[in-house]
Structure 1
Amino acid sequence: MSAGASAMNYELAGDLKIGQVGIANLRIRTLDVERLGAEMRDRVARAPKLFERAAVIVDFGALPGTPDAASALALLDALRAAGVIPVALAYGSSDNERLAVELGLPLLAKFRAQYESPDAAANAPAPKAVADTAPAKAAAPTAAKAPAASGEPGMIQTAPIRSGQQIYAEQRDLTILSAVGAGAEVIADGSIHIYGALRGRALAGARDNDKARIFCREFHAELVAIAGHYKVMEDIPAELRGKAVQIWLDNGQIHIAALA
């Protein structure tokens, strides 16, 4: 077992959450560069298809103060060495904004809302300079927490979703009558119902709706996530693979159980 895996048995130095459309947000809890690098290397080693060269937003909001540029640069170098690509900082204080300028990175306010109350997110000032260096598919929906049910009918997808395709059901549930192929991605602000095989990624509760669920008839997922909390294939019990399952979130932990 790697040093990163040992550290993950206890409190993590950084919480990694999957954003609304696949981009990851790393909230730094302990500015221990060596430990954070080890944790990220472990994540990449366990799921290289998902995390190798993945775009990551770095959030210093959980720290008592904004780190200096030298410490932040050391962290960015450690993350790159671990196999991911830091593309921006999450918006925070004016000190954080100055740090972003020193690092040559943009600020993305919308990712900060995943950890704040809806009121705090709504009242947060916009950063002076916002640019997204991530690929176009990483452009997230608005930051404000949206209800799962908005009166909109659920979205129904009848055709198979093939590798490289992405489907997003905004402010509603998503029902897929066929299969989700490996390398495909399905996202919903509400719950996701899949009546065929799930071989790609499924992200429910994309706007921080922790009551959303995922249901599928044949479970082979590369990744499943609810409200940003995720599990990858390597974390899923072998006895559940290929089974009909439901997936839900309880106290920040993903649970997967076979359907009767």
Structure 2
Amino acid sequence: MSAQPDLAQAGELKFGQVGIANLRIRQLDPARLAQEMRERVQRAPNLFARAAVVLDFNNLLHAPSAEQVRALIAALREAGVLPVALAYGTREIDALARELDLPLLAKFRAQYEPASTQAAPAASASPLPAPAPAPPAIPPAARGGDGKPGLIHTSPVRSGQQVYAEQRDLTVLSTVGAGAEVLADGSIHIYGALRGRALAGAQGNTEARIFCREFHAELVAVAGHYKVLEDIPADLHGKPVQVWLDHGQLKLAALD
């Protein structure tokens, strides 16, 4: 009898959420961009060292040349991160990606920079906004903006896992382990320890918030504005904490 053919695939292709950061280029200055990235890597090596990065040139008036992008990629790699693609934009960006033999990514699973963000204005003498009022106590999980009920995740989110609540809030009834990631287009409620990453308002909802019972997060973000653990006051570590945006600034406070 003849041998049966091996019908098993050598590789299984799947599409899903990919942990990848969007670096929105506001000034095409490779040396300065590399220095900023090097500082991020030094502050949080477990988070940023050898991290995959998508380059987004859509905030520039003109698309850069292939030579300029090659210089930027080399500088960023030397700084410790790995540029892997360009962000989708104009026809010029499409042509640039083809010339560089890089893929285009049209949509990110989390926007570390909101799409509406513009270059920061020059400092002025205008008064600073009034301090935000004290944050309210942790509320019940809400419905998403389109009326969808929130997603409830009952088991621990372990290292390497991702849980995403599209167009709704996310409630985790257990812990989020180190190396795990939870995302929501609405708010995130964690009733255990948060040791991994939590990204609320992933599609730009600036009203989203993050609540957790025990704060040890590697990274928290709301509508693209983020902080890593090294940037957060030590007196909040291990405490019940909420995270929200106030005038474009990410705020954290202990919950009573």
**What interval of TM-score do these two structures reach, taking the shorter chain for normalisation?**
0.7 to 0.9
Instruction: Give the gaps of 5 or more residues in structure 1.
Output: 1-19, 118-146
The CA deviation at 1:148 is 3.8
Look up the SS of the partner of 1:61 in the other structure.
coil
Name the structure 2 match of 1:95: 92
The CA deviation at 1:238 is 0.4
Q: Does 2:201 correspond to 1:205? A: yes
Q: Give a deviation string over 1:33-86, Cα, whole Å, max 9, x none.
A: 111111111111111111111111111112221111111100011111111111
Q: TM-score normalised to the size of structure 2? A: 0.78
Q: For this pair of structures, how many residues does the alignment match?
A: 212
Q: Give a deviation string over 1:120-148, Cα, whole Å, max 9, x none.
A: xxxxxxxxxxxxxxxxxxxxxxxxxxx94
The CA deviation at 1:116 is 4.3
Contact 1:178 1:196 (C-alpha < 8 Å) held by counterparts:
yes
State the alpha-carbon separation in 2 of the partners of residues 172 and 252 from structure 1: 22
Amino acid at match of 1:163: S
Name the structure 2 match of 1:115: 115
Name the structure 2 match of 1:253: 249
Between stretches 158-167 and 185-194, larger displacement belongs to 158-167
Give identity over the alignment, percent: 68
State the alpha-carbon separation in 2 of the partners of residues 63 and 258 from structure 1: 39
Name the structure 2 match of 1:177: 173
Q: Give a deviation string over 1:149-191, Cα, whole Å, max 9, x none.
A: 2221111122122211211111111111111111111111111
Detail structure 1 runs of 4+ shifted over 3 Å in the superposition: 111-114
Name the structure 2 match of 1:35: 32
The CA deviation at 1:95 is 2.0
Name the structure 2 match of 1:193: 189
**Bigger Rg, which one:** 2
Between stretches 80-89 and 238-247, larger displacement belongs to 80-89
Name the structure 1 match of 2:145: 149
State the alpha-carbon separation in 2 of the partners of residues 186 and 95 from structure 1: 34
Name the structure 2 match of 1:241: 237
Q: Does 2:88 correspond to 1:106? A: no
Contact 2:85 2:105 (C-alpha < 8 Å) held by counterparts:
yes
Q: Does 2:41 correspond to 1:44? A: yes
Q: TM-score normalised to the size of structure 1? A: 0.77
Contact 2:144 2:150 (C-alpha < 8 Å) held by counterparts:
no
Name the structure 2 match of 1:11: none
Amino acid at match of 1:94: R
State the alpha-carbon separation in 2 of the partners of residues 162 and 107 from structure 1: 30
